[in-house]
Structure 1
Amino acid sequence: MKSRPRKTRPGKTRPELSRPPADSELFLATLMADVRDGSLHVATQKIDARRDIIDAHPFASYLAGLIRVAKGEEERAIAHFGRAIALSPEHAQALYGRAVALQKCGRARDALADYEASLRLDPANVEGWFNYGEALIALQRHSDACDAWTRVLALAPGHAAALGNRALALHALGRDAEAIADYDRAIALAGADKALLRNRAVSLARLARHEEALASFAQAFALDAAYLDAADGAAAALMALRRFDEAGALCDHVLSFAPDHGSALLTKGNALHELKRFEEALAVFDAALARAADDVRLATNRGMALFELGRFDEAHAAALAAIAIDASFALAWRCRGMTELRRAELDQALVSFDRALRLESADADVLCGRAIVLKELGRYDEALADFDRAIAIDPRHAEAKANKGSLLLLLGEFAEGWELFEHRWVQGDRPKAEIAYRWPEWRGEPLAGKSIVVLDEAGLGDALQFSRYAPLLAAAGARAAYHCRPSLARVMRGLGLNVEIVTAPPPDANYDCCVTICSLPRAFATRADTISGRPYLRAEPERVAHWRERLGDGGFKVGIAWHGSSHSRSDHTRAAPLSAFAPLSRIDGVRLVSLQKNFGAEQLRSAPAGMRVESLGADFDCGADAFVDTAAVIANLDLVVTIDTSIAHLAGALGQKVWIAIKHSPEWRWMLEREDTPWYDSARLFRQERRGDWDDVFSRMARELERAVHAARPAPAARSTR
């Protein structure tokens, strides 16, 4: 916070100092006349010429001190005041004058004793108490400064400057509600003062009264279009109110007349980042860094934008550049840790989060990131402890709650896990708890005779896994509809006629209640022993027949998928290279059939020598409907082998035999240690025994596949005896 500059000046004499002897009266009279005329240079010449008079009497020394202060010669003034005090130790004016001169020289600590002595002698000196408060605030003694300005206000209740300064001290003490009351009184006395309005807004913002803060910042900025502190505050308030478009527009206005204003550039980039316009945000940060290459905030936020764009190597380099600028900036270490987590460099990520935590021990975001790394390292108890610390610091921290929930689900603690999982991020990166639904949310109440719509969310795998609950809604007596993304509508019709599939509920749609698809397990109070692993989807018969003919007979047909979504936030540690599947291709009689679409399919061009993988052609699931052909192909296969991706859920939902390669610290739905899963009766899990080691996983799969192929071969015909 900034206060308005205040002039420090000696007050009126109380008590009156004694006059010098009569033979010096004429000299002093001419000296005072020079002061009245503004002839300070002449006055100082006379002081230098007649030191015999000046140094002989306290009044003369005091007057010389005043003249030196008026000329800005504080050090020489201190000597004159000191001479007056030596001659008359209890003269309040000389003590006060020296205190003011010392304070002007930046020697606030030395000034305190003189202020205190002066005010003991002259407790009614209003400006003395005021300047004493400013000396105390310069020494960060905010509580004592408050007391000094309270004395001012007791003597002069209408002292607006004392109210404004006391408010600053109260803000420093964290007493913002009291500070705002003082600002309001000061503004009522002094009128619409831009600094008072700006400082009032800062206290309002700290109390999260962002609408009021915005109005106060805007009023200050309206009084002075060059008052950029107020503009910065208004932009920050708009960001806090999640009015990101308006924040960006205000920054554009500021930049139109102050193109190098770093705060506006930073906030504009941050606003674009929040709007998920990451390319534009990156361009703003790059432009700003061209003007201020050593701004650690810009360098760090550039890394964050690159991270969101999935450009993790560049994001890591940006984080390192930010750390090189200022290694004490915790967010730069957090950015580095986030990128290392995405690059599966878990040990390095833990080091980065630890460093960030040493710099900001109460940062919930850092603790949450560290907990995620610990979870990936399989250090589950430590991860839970860090999630709990993050939530204790910020009880509204949705990411920490959702991640703790998924970890509890992984550990089989379903009751608390589902509750915390409700804090997952959905729809525009807002916590689920803050979404306003068109219809009341269903939480498990009786449904007989009611209508309910299931709302889509999350990834394709989630939709495939949890769509199992839609027929259960119908079985409970409800008229059930599933509002799914258009690409899934066709495959979801395999849920049966009791579930209406809609891709866009009409504006006048009127349901009794709604539920998001990933909230269905909680609403059904799902526990590990209540999950049905029976199939609930079916492929279209005509597509099954079509692909049966296309695939032909012969061989043990194994569909494979090795990579998930290309989305920048996807967990690429779940992916395995196509080459990891090579041991399967070496088994006699096995035909590998690629189920991979889009991202990752390019690896077919560089498959290991001798590894043959059949491609299903350009028309395989080439339309807008996802998984229609994939489901039909899977229905014709002997086995699906896949990493943890949507193909695994599709095969399990169809009831087709599927082997799933699971990373060392798996997704919550696969739980720990077990080779089966309650979610799909037809699934078998092959887990990494060592982090990142896919070779062992696929070697074990190859041995099991060889046994399966052998078991599937028809037994040789028995020879007849003659």
Structure 2
Amino acid sequence: MAEVQELLKTALTHHQTGELDQAEEIYQGLLDNDPRQWEARYYLGTLQLQRGQLDRSVTSFLQVIQLNPDLPDVHNNLGVAYHATGKLEEAEQSFEQALRLNPHYERAFFNLGSLYESRGMLAEAMRCFRKSYEQSGSPETYEKLADVLKVSRRFSEAEVIYRELLQKSPGDFNLSMKLAYVLVLQRHYPEAVQLYEAMLDSHPGHYQILVSLSYVHECMGNIDAAIQTAEQSIEAAPEQPEGYNNLGNALRLALRLDEASTYFEKALARQADFPIAEFNLATTRMLQGDLQAGWQGYERRSDIDVASRMTYPGPAWQGEPLEGKTICLWCEQGFGDTLLFIRFASELKRRGAGRVLVLSQVELAGLLRSIEEIEVLVPGDPIVECDYQCSLMSVPRFLETSLETIPAEVPLFQPAEDRLAYWKEVLSQLEGKKVGLNWSGNLQFPRDQFRSVPLKSMLPLSDVAGVQLVSVQQVNGLDQLAALENDWNLWQPGSEYQAKTGDFGEAAALIGSLDLLITADTSYAHLAGGLGVPVWVLVSRLPEWRWLLERTDSPWYPTARLFRQTQLGDWDSVTQDVKAAMEQQFSSEAV
């Protein structure tokens, strides 16, 4: 027995110093002499795991468990081997058994957390990493926890951890980059810029820092700085694609669109499968009015935002004839996108489709059910057998839609008659023309700071004679009302409007009762346009592609009129243009 322990000690010394062949030879010799020597079998399995001999290590650990089933380390290492071979259920069972044998087994918690993370079970992963950190206090584990919090969009919690870790490891590059990233995701742009610039002091000309910094400058509307840092990133790494894409974005923000397209193409020349660059190139061409040149690249949106991907049972429709066929169109992206593209569902029916089903967001289903040509489903409804399925937003690609062939007849949908009558009666008690205001969109929308309009910028509109302003705002931006309630005459609907929770049916009925809606570029612009209500849309200097350039009208909505920024962030000048147009229109109507 003493000789066996001495041989094991020698083998472990070889093992720990990386002399694996010598260690394996001793382990194997011990097992040849006594196949039930579980220690040698366990260490051999660990060595096999180190060498990537996964199937052999699994066999070794299972043999050890047969001999001695109450060893937590064996179950933990078996779980690691199973995880590496892709046998995730077996790995989970092994880690859990290790924790049953030792409820304080820090490494088993860490490994189980990593397994849950790889399976996208983020809440479970966070629980395990917290348990592991409580046992070990390991910075590695704490960082892992922050990483999962970040992926779970719990950015402020991740930020706290990254800051704590940086206090213990000042200047750590990876931690600094992660902290800057979560600051950007929370739109704490000035602090992110300061952090990136501090990192450049110690890492001058670092490509990834420059790429990130140019992106933040672009988010802030700092056009010259965005261009400059993007150019520096290209100088630092001319074969990397991200710098060219960022420079394209910065040039597009400057409305130098042909140059922007050139740099998106350069990014794609360096990385052919680069979804964001292909999408950016497509939407730049669409912004310039060439829809047909952009539809294919527009398909890359689901590769950028994986959360928007979904399918419906049935073959993918790619433009095949639909006479007598059933097709299900599923909605993605935001509410405004659905309201804009819903016309194409009706168009397919007009072109001969037997049945057109639309799998809609729950919030829009009631309104869309007013469209006679389609049948509306919501998530959770029974699956309907279909000949084809397709994203609603992909239909115009297969119809080869151009500016000239957009189905633009309105109304596209109708509010409920009883609610429309109710709001008409309510508004009839107010004097003057009823002009609705909507100023804020979804605060999580990328670049929302460019499209939403501060309510105080609309204040001059209250000076137009013969007009009663009406708030149609729901959910977002309501906090701005309190600071201005004594400054102007903005009528606010009662609780039945459900402003705090949001209700598109009520919004459609109230907007349908107005003489005019003035709105930022939000879903309500599409709601009013689709209802056929006169709508004036306040458009950022760099608009969404659907509003095109320079035009004051829209090929999507015949009742829309566009008021455009001439300088990014300057809504006061736009408001003055709107005010002048209101005075002209309503004074002429009074004559």
TM-score tier, shorter chain, comes to 0.7 to 0.9
**Are the counterparts in 2 of residues 451 and 512 from structure 1 also a CA contact under 8 Å?**
yes
> Which residue, 481, 491, 507 being the options, matches 1:614?
491
**Are the counterparts in 1 of residues 528 and 534 from structure 2 also a CA contact under 8 Å?**
yes
Corresponding position of 1:545: 421
Point out where structure 2 has 5 or more consecutive residues left out of the alignment: 1-20, 23-45, 54-80, 89-109
Partner Cα separation in structure 2 for residue 360 and residue 238 of structure 1: 36
Alignment of 1:583 with 2:430, yes or no, is: no
Corresponding position of 1:308: 185
SS in 1 for 2:370: helix
- Structure 1 residue 274, shift from structure 2 partner: 3.7
SS in 2 for 1:642: strand
Partner Cα separation in structure 2 for residue 236 and residue 390 of structure 1: 34
- Structure 1 residue 471, shift from structure 2 partner: 1.5
Change (3 A) 1:555 1:655: same
- Structure 1 residue 598, shift from structure 2 partner: 2.5
Alignment of 1:455 with 2:330, yes or no, is: yes
Equivalent residues in 2 for 1:204-223 (5 A)? Answer: none
Partner Cα separation in structure 2 for residue 465 and residue 632 of structure 1: 18
Alignment of 1:355 with 2:213, yes or no, is: no
SS in 1 for 2:496: coil
- Structure 1 residue 361, shift from structure 2 partner: 2.8
Partner Cα separation in structure 2 for residue 362 and residue 663 of structure 1: 33
Alignment of 1:515 with 2:515, yes or no, is: no
Change (3 A) 1:605 1:622: closer
Corresponding position of 2:356: 480
**Are the counterparts in 1 of residues 475 and 502 from structure 2 also a CA contact under 8 Å?**
no
SS in 2 for 1:532: coil
Equivalent residues in 2 for 1:292-371 (5 A)? Answer: 292-371=169-248
1:450-486 Cα distance to aligned partner (Å, 9 max, x none): 1111111111111111111122222222311111111
Amino acid at match of 1:636: S
Change (3 A) 1:246 1:633: closer
> Which residue, 523, 528, 531 being the options, matches 2:406?
531
- Structure 1 residue 521, shift from structure 2 partner: 1.6
Corresponding position of 1:166: none
Partner Cα separation in structure 2 for residue 389 and residue 250 of structure 1: 44
**Are the counterparts in 1 of residues 275 and 303 from structure 2 also a CA contact under 8 Å?**
no
The one of the two structures with greater contact order (alpha-carbon pairs below 8 A, sep at least 6) is 2
Amino acid at match of 1:582: L
Corresponding position of 1:499: 374
Alignment of 1:398 with 2:275, yes or no, is: yes
Corresponding position of 1:418: 295
Q: Bigger shift: 436-445 or 369-378? A: 436-445
**Are the counterparts in 2 of residues 557 and 593 from structure 1 also a CA contact under 8 Å?**
yes
1:467-507 Cα distance to aligned partner (Å, 9 max, x none): 111222222223111111111111112222x3111112545
Partner Cα separation in structure 2 for residue 491 and residue 508 of structure 1: 21
**Are the counterparts in 2 of residues 296 and 326 from structure 1 also a CA contact under 8 Å?**
no
- Structure 1 residue 405, shift from structure 2 partner: 1.1
Partner Cα separation in structure 1 for residue 138 and residue 200 of structure 2: 23
Partner Cα separation in structure 1 for residue 220 and residue 540 of structure 2: 15
Equivalent residues in 2 for 1:567-582 (5 A)? Answer: 567=444, 569-582=446-459
SS in 1 for 2:495: coil
> Which residue, 521, 531, 534 being the options, matches 1:657?
534
Equivalent residues in 2 for 1:224-303 (5 A)? Answer: 259-260=137-138, 262=140, 269-303=146-180
Partner Cα separation in structure 2 for residue 492 and residue 472 of structure 1: 14
Amino acid at match of 2:215: M
- Structure 1 residue 602, shift from structure 2 partner: 2.2
Partner Cα separation in structure 2 for residue 348 and residue 334 of structure 1: 12
Partner Cα separation in structure 2 for residue 624 and residue 610 of structure 1: 25
Partner Cα separation in structure 1 for residue 384 and residue 450 of structure 2: 42
Partner Cα separation in structure 2 for residue 665 and residue 556 of structure 1: 31
Alignment of 1:683 with 2:560, yes or no, is: yes
**Are the counterparts in 2 of residues 439 and 514 from structure 1 also a CA contact under 8 Å?**
yes
Corresponding position of 2:96: none
- Structure 1 residue 252, shift from structure 2 partner: 8.0
Q: Bigger shift: 573-582 or 608-617? A: 608-617
1:652-677 Cα distance to aligned partner (Å, 9 max, x none): 10011111111112110011121111
Partner Cα separation in structure 1 for residue 183 and residue 177 of structure 2: 10
Partner Cα separation in structure 1 for residue 555 and residue 136 of structure 2: 62
Partner Cα separation in structure 1 for residue 307 and residue 505 of structure 2: 32
Partner Cα separation in structure 2 for residue 514 and residue 688 of structure 1: 40
- Structure 1 residue 611, shift from structure 2 partner: 2.8
Change (3 A) 1:598 1:244: closer
Structure 2 length as normaliser, TM-score?
Answer: 0.75
Corresponding position of 2:472: 595
Point out where structure 1 has 5 or more consecutive residues left out of the alignment: 1-159, 162-190, 199-210, 219-231, 716-722
Change (3 A) 1:243 1:380: farther
1:218-257 Cα distance to aligned partner (Å, 9 max, x none): 9xxxxxxxxxxxxx9xx99999998989998998899789
Partner Cα separation in structure 1 for residue 367 and residue 201 of structure 2: 52
**Are the counterparts in 2 of residues 488 and 625 from structure 1 also a CA contact under 8 Å?**
no
**CA-based RMSD:** 3.7
1:537-566 Cα distance to aligned partner (Å, 9 max, x none): 111111111111211253011111112111
Change (3 A) 1:697 1:296: same
Amino acid at match of 2:363: S
SS in 2 for 1:560: strand
Partner Cα separation in structure 2 for residue 256 and residue 328 of structure 1: 39
Number of aligned positions between the proteins? 499
Partner Cα separation in structure 2 for residue 549 and residue 609 of structure 1: 26
- Structure 1 residue 711, shift from structure 2 partner: 2.2
Structure 1 length as normaliser, TM-score?
Answer: 0.62
Partner Cα separation in structure 2 for residue 598 and residue 358 of structure 1: 45
Corresponding position of 2:101: none
**Are the counterparts in 2 of residues 483 and 505 from structure 1 also a CA contact under 8 Å?**
no
Corresponding position of 2:434: 557
Corresponding position of 1:373: 250
Larger Rg: 1
Partner Cα separation in structure 2 for residue 622 and residue 249 of structure 1: 37
Change (3 A) 1:236 1:526: farther
1:7-31 Cα distance to aligned partner (Å, 9 max, x none): xxxxxxxxxxxxxxxxxxxxxxxxx
Amino acid at match of 2:293: E
> Which residue, 514, 537, 544 being the options, matches 1:667?
544
Partner Cα separation in structure 1 for residue 273 and residue 119 of structure 2: 16
Change (3 A) 1:417 1:486: same
Amino acid at match of 2:435: V
- Structure 1 residue 417, shift from structure 2 partner: 0.2
**Are the counterparts in 2 of residues 584 and 698 from structure 1 also a CA contact under 8 Å?**
yes
Equivalent residues in 2 for 1:165-180 (5 A)? Answer: none
Change (3 A) 1:270 1:334: farther
**Are the counterparts in 1 of residues 217 and 225 from structure 2 also a CA contact under 8 Å?**
yes
Partner Cα separation in structure 1 for residue 119 and residue 258 of structure 2: 36
**Are the counterparts in 1 of residues 473 and 499 from structure 2 also a CA contact under 8 Å?**
no
